[in-house]
Amino acid sequence: MTVLDATLTWAQLRDIKCAELESAADGWGIASNRADAGRDRIEKQLLAGLRENQHGAAADAAVGRLRRLGRNLQYVYTECGLVRTALNSLAHDLRVQQTALRRALDEAESLKYTVNPDGSVTYPAGGASVVEGAPLPPGGTARVTSDPGLYPPSGLVGPNPHAAKAQDIAHRIAKAVGTAVEIDWRFARVLRRLKAEEGLKVPDRTWTDAAGDAAAVREAARGYLKSRIPRDASPAARREWWEHLTDEQREEYLAVYPDQIGNLDGIPSLIRDTANRDNLQLLIGKLEGRSDETSGVRLAGLREIQRQLDEGGRPPMYLLGIGDEGNGRAIVAFGNPDTARNVAAYVPGLNTSLDKDFATGDLKRARDTAIGMHLHDPSSAAITWLGYDAPQLPDGLDSLDVAGDERAIKGGAAFNGFMGGLSATNENADPHMTAIGHSYGSRTVGAATQQSGGIPGIDDIVLVGSPGVGVDRAEDLGVGKNHVFVGAAENDVVTKLPSHRQAAAGFYAVPGGPVAAYLFGDAADQGDDDLWFGKDPASKAFGARRFPVDDGPGLLSGGKVNMGAHGQYFDPVRDNSSANSIALVAAGKAHDLKAEEYR
């Protein structure tokens, strides 16, 4: 046990000095902060200097050792932070029971009752006789195991009004002491497990233990921190909440709830990045060693994100969200979205999940966009937002998920929350913000615009590879039709999927789903401007501004469907015209955009 023993008395509980526990917590906090400062210096100064100025085997070896040291300091920071929070939470919970005890003792003193060492309460005679001249109801002693004095001993003596009050005080004293014993045992178990392996390395199995440690402290400290996180507040209110926390409170939330703080819209991006880098390690530790396929896929994606974060590069990466729920969550910015005047958020679509392909492909799309934006305005940032469950097609292009709106509508609500957070944390008076939807992601962006108030802070919308957005006119997206931009490759089959009307005429009769129906079915009318999710965004009837893109590779290659045209819109090598057009709009330079004829 820590400060109590199994025979705790109310006097011992009364005299516990919770301030000493908090002082010990402060010492662990100092150790945690020093480790964090060391890690920060390694990542932002030493590693950056080596990468920029030194090359060769010796430099590579030094980088490897510094990364290992930084990872070790990250572990020290995490574990020391958990100890600090456990001690502070222990002090907090014990103080609550001390307060309950002292109120009971104060009430006993005011009534002139005697609280005995064993917690029983002795009270005086009192009340009134039933018969004149009979004695007053006698005093007694109230214990939690009996109810003495609650009933009159005979018909001639009335009840003693002190008996019930004394019994209540005795129960309150016993409850405070009993709860304090339970609290002490609970935190003793948590503190005993906060112990690192010997040695100078921190392997993945150690992070697995750290993930378990964090879960244990979260459970033990549930009443101390978690209940105070404003999950149901607006992003602006969350930012205000964070700003009004003390430094110590912030450090504790980051140590114990990096997953909550890192994924909370409205928290500043630098804070989210710090929290999510720690949570990334905990997630890797959590998934390490699992044998199921999903964990393996997630782990590969997480490791690739970690590799890119370690590698650095320009524009710098900020991890604004990470999680393993659903198909996985990852939000990565290239450039700081809180300081940039231009911020673009790209929503991926069909078949996107947290895997290695996402970490290499979808992150590259945001990076390429950010680099292109910087050519037009250096104060720019681009984001890949995987904050929803995009439809997955393991068995071909006939999934009902991709055919339906449910995931887009749910994802659109989450996207609006994220953009509301960026609007709350951006430091510019009137930042220029762009929503970019690709494939089913364009339907998700369309759904977001139909939420109450539209997408917070958005000035422009870019739709590429779109099967429709759920509305039939660009002006219905809430930013004005001149601020909606569309790229549609001639050979991109997704931009020519049959409409619902065509499907009803025989679309599902064609084996192979939408693509086969488009290629071989009589139901597909390529001259029609209606797509699966509404009017073709590249059509004149929709009314958006269409920009030129490369036709892309042909639809058939080697007897198979080739989806290459659907995936090259952001690539400055494969489709420079499209990539530069997206960057122009996102950088607020849409007036320089070239126009393309409508379909």
Residue 71 confidence (pLDDT): 79
Give the 3-state secondary structure of residue 524: coil
> Which residue has better confidence, 215 or 382?
382
The listed range with the strongest mean pLDDT (79-83, 173-177, 456-460, 594-598) is 456-460
Cα 269 vs. chain centroid, distance in angstroms?
12
Tokens of 322: 């990470």
Residue 304: pLDDT band by 50, 70, 90 thresholds? very high
Instruction: State the Cα–Cα distance between residues 419 and 333, nearest whole angstrom.
Output: 13
Residue 519 confidence (pLDDT): 45
Please name every residue paired with 329 in a beta bridge, in sequence order, or none if there are none.
Answer: 323
Judged against a pLDDT cut of 90, whether residue 368 lies above it is answered with: yes
Q: What's the DSSP call for residue 372?
A: H
Amino acid at 556: L
The listed range with the strongest mean pLDDT (52-66, 249-263, 382-396) is 249-263
Give the 3-state secondary structure of residue 135: coil
Tokens 């890797």 -> residue: 284
pLDDT in tens, 333-351: 999 999 999 999 999 998 8
pLDDT in tens, 554-586: 776 666 666 778 889 999 999 999 999 999 999
What are the φ and ψ backbone dihedral angles of 364, each rounded to 5 degrees? -65, -35
Any idea which of 174-183, 223-232, 418-427, 582-591 has the lowest mean pLDDT? Answer: 223-232
Judged against a pLDDT cut of 70, whether residue 198 lies above it is answered with: no
Instruction: State the Cα–Cα distance between residues 509 and 494, nearest whole angstrom.
Output: 19
Give the 3-state secondary structure of residue 285: helix
Instruction: State the Cα–Cα distance between residues 591 and 138, nearest whole angstrom.
Output: 95
Cα 229 vs. chain centroid, distance in angstroms?
12
Average pLDDT over residues 305-309: 93
52-56 long-range contacts, CB within 8 A, separation 24+: none
Q: What's the DSSP call for residue 343?
A: E
Please name every residue paired with 556 in a beta bridge, in sequence order, or none if there are none.
Answer: 561
Amino acid at 105: L
Residue 509 confidence (pLDDT): 43
pLDDT in tens, 230-251: 989 999 999 999 999 988 888 8
Three-state SS across 410-457?
A: HHHHHHHHHHHHHHHHCCCCCCEEEEEEECHHHHHHHHHHCCCCCCCC
Residue 92 confidence (pLDDT): 86
Judged against a pLDDT cut of 60, whether residue 447 lies above it is answered with: yes
- Cβ(382)–Cβ(370) below 8 Å: yes
Residue 49: pLDDT band by 50, 70, 90 thresholds? low
Instruction: State the Cα–Cα distance between residues 597 and 599, nearest whole angstrom.
Output: 7
> How buried is 177 (Cβ within 10 angstroms: 0-12 exposed, 13-18 middle, 19+ buried)?
buried
Average pLDDT over residues 108-136: 81
Instruction: State the Cα–Cα distance between residues 169 and 165, nearest whole angstrom.
Output: 6
Q: What's the DSSP call for residue 148?
A: T
Instruction: State the Cα–Cα distance between residues 31 and 449, nearest whole angstrom.
Output: 47
432-438/342-347 β-pairing: parallel
Instruction: State the Cα–Cα distance between residues 344 and 335, nearest whole angstrom.
Output: 10
Residue 384 sits at the vertex; the CA angle it makes with 72 and 577, to the nearest 5 degrees, is 130
Give the 3-state secondary structure of residue 561: strand
Please name every residue paired with 437 in a beta bridge, in sequence order, or none if there are none.
Answer: 347, 463
Residue 568 confidence (pLDDT): 93
Instruction: State the Cα–Cα distance between residues 461 and 233, nearest whole angstrom.
Output: 27
Judged against a pLDDT cut of 90, whether residue 382 lies above it is answered with: yes
Residue 1: pLDDT band by 50, 70, 90 thresholds? very low
Instruction: State the Cα–Cα distance between residues 272 and 463, nearest whole angstrom.
Output: 28
Q: Work out whether the CA dihedral 342, 348, 349, 354 comes out positive or negative.
A: negative
Residue 106 confidence (pLDDT): 95
Judged against a pLDDT cut of 50, whether residue 204 lies above it is answered with: yes
Judged against a pLDDT cut of 60, whether residue 156 lies above it is answered with: no
Average pLDDT over residues 39-58: 73
The listed range with the strongest mean pLDDT (8-22, 115-129, 206-220) is 8-22
Residue 26 confidence (pLDDT): 87
Q: How many CB atoms lie within 10 A of CB 227?
A: 7
Residue 526: pLDDT band by 50, 70, 90 thresholds? very low
Any idea which of 162-171, 187-196, 358-367, 480-489 has the lowest mean pLDDT? Answer: 187-196
Average pLDDT value for the chain: 84
Give the 3-state secondary structure of residue 547: coil
pLDDT above 90: percentage of residues in the chain: 49
Any idea which of 84-88, 94-98, 381-385 has the lowest mean pLDDT? Answer: 84-88
What are the φ and ψ backbone dihedral angles of 145, each rounded to 5 degrees? -95, 0
- Cis check for the bond before 315: say yes or no (omega within 30 of 0): yes
Instruction: State the Cα–Cα distance between residues 450 and 446, nearest whole angstrom.
Output: 7
Judged against a pLDDT cut of 50, whether residue 376 lies above it is answered with: yes
Tokens of 479: 């930013």
Residue 65 confidence (pLDDT): 79
> Which residue has better confidence, 47 or 470?
470
Instruction: State the Cα–Cα distance between residues 29 and 40, nearest whole angstrom.
Output: 16
Residue 81 confidence (pLDDT): 83
Tokens of 508: 């599902």
Cα dihedral value 205, 211, 213, 218, nearest 10: 180
- Cβ(220)–Cβ(190) below 8 Å: yes
Residue 155: pLDDT band by 50, 70, 90 thresholds? low
Tokens of 489: 């490759």
pLDDT in tens, 347-364: 999 889 999 999 999 999
Q: What's the DSSP call for residue 480?
A: -
The listed range with the strongest mean pLDDT (56-70, 87-101, 214-228) is 87-101
Which of 387, 478, 492, 503 is CA-nearest to residue 439?
Answer: 492
Which of 376, 379, 332, 382 is CA-nearest to residue 354?
Answer: 332
Alpha-carbon distance values, 399 to 351, 391, 508 (Å): 11, 8, 11
Give the DSSP H or E segment for 344.
Answer: strand 342-347
Burial of 17-44, coded b for 16+ CB within 10 Å and e otherwise, reads ebeebbebbeebbebbbebbebbeebbe
The listed range with the strongest mean pLDDT (46-55, 88-97, 569-578) is 569-578
Instruction: State the Cα–Cα distance between residues 478 and 332, nearest whole angstrom.
Output: 26
Count helices and strands (H / E) in the chain. Answer: 19, 15
Instruction: State the Cα–Cα distance between residues 210 and 223, nearest whole angstrom.
Output: 21
Residue 520 confidence (pLDDT): 42
Residue 498 confidence (pLDDT): 60
Residue 17 confidence (pLDDT): 92
Residue 531 confidence (pLDDT): 61
- Cβ(586)–Cβ(369) below 8 Å: yes
Give the 3-state secondary structure of residue 72: helix
pLDDT above 70: percentage of residues in the chain: 82
Judged against a pLDDT cut of 70, whether residue 215 lies above it is answered with: yes
Instruction: State the Cα–Cα distance between residues 329 and 353, nearest whole angstrom.
Output: 8
Average pLDDT over residues 488-493: 88
Judged against a pLDDT cut of 50, whether residue 450 lies above it is answered with: yes
Q: How many CB atoms lie within 10 A of CB 241?
A: 16
